[in-house]
Amino acid sequence: MKDLIIIGAGPIGLACGIEAKKNNLDYLIIDKGMLVNSIFNYPVNTTFFSTSDKLEIGNIPFISHSVKPTRTEALEYYRRVCDTWQLNLSLYNEVNEIIKEEKHFELKTSEGILNSKKIVICTGFYDIPYMLNIPGEDKNKVLHYYNESHPYYKMDIAIVGAGNSAVDVALDTFRKGAKSVTMIIREKEIGKNIKYWVRPDIINRIENNEINVFYESIITEIKDKSIIINNKEGSIEVDNDFVLAMTGYQPNYEILENLGVEILKDEFKTPFFNEETMETNVEGVFLAGVICGGLKTNKWFIENSRDHSEKIISQITKT
């Protein structure tokens, strides 16, 4: 019987583990994937928006070559955090079901059954992409994650979306030798929230016809060597080798709903939790990190949710 099981081995899950260890709790951090799985899935050349000090946890200095660290530096840093604190990890061990017993929780995982008095859910949002739900989406040419530009050299690329990720992918593949880059956007224009130093770049590329764009349009079908785009002018078939669907991601609501965590009826489907303790309406179930924002995935980051771990462990040790 563990005192605490933390579901999610991202930076905030690690922070919860550190606080649990500092308070002599018998804890375990469990994840269906690798350590900081979401950061690993960032594009290989990613540079964080934040400075390294704002990504620090556990009083371990994050030293980077530049003011803003890279993905590679972050992966190395969080490995070092785990080694320094000797955190208890169970990686590549998926939680399939959680059963609430009278005074504890039973977790059925891919490696067996675990029991814990309390649980923290900090599963982030990067594992479940929004699907297009159209014919052909199951083809290997369709990807919901972007790693690097090299595979798309001399290829006809279609990018779905108008946010920062879509714009970054369009510019990167264009500059690294894609045969053609076509953006398919539901809205009338490029997203308003695009990084201010990037927005003029993508608009200039579009106006110069270097990057193609279909506004107020959707893809209705994906074929082996083309896609069908539909808008108010009708349907058009465009040559295509790869579809990069940068449509965003969503939290794991299934795990919350199965536990009986209340989901507020607001536009962001925000899970209910006490902001002072991070405890949900289900006694013994706590939330931490990005998942606290529901569909508003740009509300919580590593930088502003590191203190969730302190609130949670403080409440657990009180009881």
Give the pLDDT confidence of 239-269 residue by residue, as tens digits.
Answer: 999 999 999 888 889 999 999 999 999 889 9
Same domain, yes or no: 199 and 157 = yes
Of 220, 245, 270, the position where a domain reaches its end is 245
What is the predicted pLDDT for the residue at 197? 87
Could you give the number of structural domains in the chain? 2
Residue 81 belongs to domain with CATH number: 3.50.50.60
Same domain, yes or no: 152 and 124 = no
What is the predicted pLDDT for the residue at 49? 83
What is the predicted pLDDT for the residue at 210? 97
What is the predicted pLDDT for the residue at 232? 92
Same domain, yes or no: 151 and 124 = no
Mean pLDDT (whole number) for 35-53: 90
Q: Shortest CA distance to 17 belongs to which of 6, 1, 7?
A: 6
Predicted confidence (pLDDT) at residue 39 exceeds the cutoff of 80: yes
Mean pLDDT (whole number) for 107-114: 97
Yes or no: say if 255 and 128 are a contact pair by the CB < 8 Å rule: no
Per the model's pLDDT, the better-predicted residue between 206 and 252 turns out to be: 206
Predicted confidence (pLDDT) at residue 32 exceeds the cutoff of 90: yes
What is the predicted pLDDT for the residue at 297? 82
Tell me the percentage of the chain whose pLDDT exceeds 90: 83
Mean pLDDT (whole number) for 85-112: 96
Tell me the percentage of the chain whose pLDDT exceeds 70: 100
Please report, for residues 33, 202, 233, 291, the alpha-carbon distance to residue 92 in angstroms, rounded to integers and kept in the order given. Answer: 4, 39, 48, 20
What is the predicted pLDDT for the residue at 23? 97
Of 245, 269, 303, the position where a domain reaches its end is 245
Please classify residue 265 by burial: count the beta carbons closer than 10 Å to its beta carbon, then call 0-12 exposed, 13-18 middle and 19+ buried.
exposed
Mean pLDDT (whole number) for 136-158: 96
Of 221, 245, 269, the position where a domain reaches its end is 245
**Which residues, including other chains, have CB under 8 Å from residue 159's CB and lie 6 or more apart?**
166, 169, 170, 173, 181, 182, 183, 184, 243, 244, 246
Yes or no: say if 190 and 199 are a contact pair by the CB < 8 Å rule: yes
Q: Shortest CA distance to 280 belongs to which of 292, 267, 297, 266?
A: 292
pLDDT band at 299 (very low <50, low <70, confident <90, very high): confident
Q: How many CA atoms lie within 13 A of 227 on its CB side?
A: 30
Same domain, yes or no: 166 and 74 = no
Q: What residues make up the domain containing 301?
A: 2-128+249-318
